[in-house]
Structure 1
Amino acid sequence: MSKAISGKFQNIDQARNVREDLMGSEIPQELIYIDEEEQMIRVMLPEEQSREVKEIYDRHGITY
């Protein structure tokens, strides 16, 4: 079952860098959502893959 792994970013460049790292980790682009108005990034993945996403969030200073 998929779950949203959400994080808050400071600026759009930070969100774009996170998206690039996520895609570099073979997470499909269509599972990555950036909401510029709310400054949120969300990834829809099964729970067992959330650790990898959180590691990328941590590396870029994304709070979740």
Structure 2
Amino acid sequence: MTKTVTGTYESVNQIKNARNDLIAVGIPQEQIFVDEENYQIKVMIADETEPEIEGILKNHDASSTTVTTK
């Protein structure tokens, strides 16, 4: 099952830093979507990587994180 983890931030710099960390842990760039207008980053992942992804987003001070299942 695929999940989307969304992190909402207060600045574009936070988003860029979170994106760099996601890539550094092996998340393919094709699975990372940046919405600078809404200050959000969305990551399409498999179930087993959800806690790791949420942790990375929270480490960059996401004001909120949500997980949706498709």
Counterpart mapping for 1:13-28 below 5 A? 13-28=13-28
Displacement of 1:58 in angstroms is: 1.4
Name the TM-score, length of structure 2 as normaliser: 0.86
Alpha-carbon separation, structure 2, partners of 1:40 and 1:17? 12
Q: Which runs of 5+ in 2 are unaligned?
A: 66-70
Q: Paired residue for 1:30?
A: 30
Q: Percent identity?
A: 36
Alpha-carbon separation, structure 1, partners of 2:22 and 2:45? 12
Displacement of 1:9 in angstroms is: 1.0
Alpha-carbon separation, structure 2, partners of 1:25 and 1:9? 20
Q: Which runs of 5+ in 1 are unaligned?
A: none
* Number of equivalent positions: 64
Alpha-carbon separation, structure 2, partners of 1:4 and 1:54? 10
Name the TM-score, length of structure 1 as normaliser: 0.93
The secondary structure found in structure 1 opposite 2:49 is helix
1:39 to 2:39 alignment: yes
How much is the aligned-residue C-alpha RMSD, in angstroms? Answer: 0.8
Runs of 4+ in 1 over 6 A off after TM superposition: none
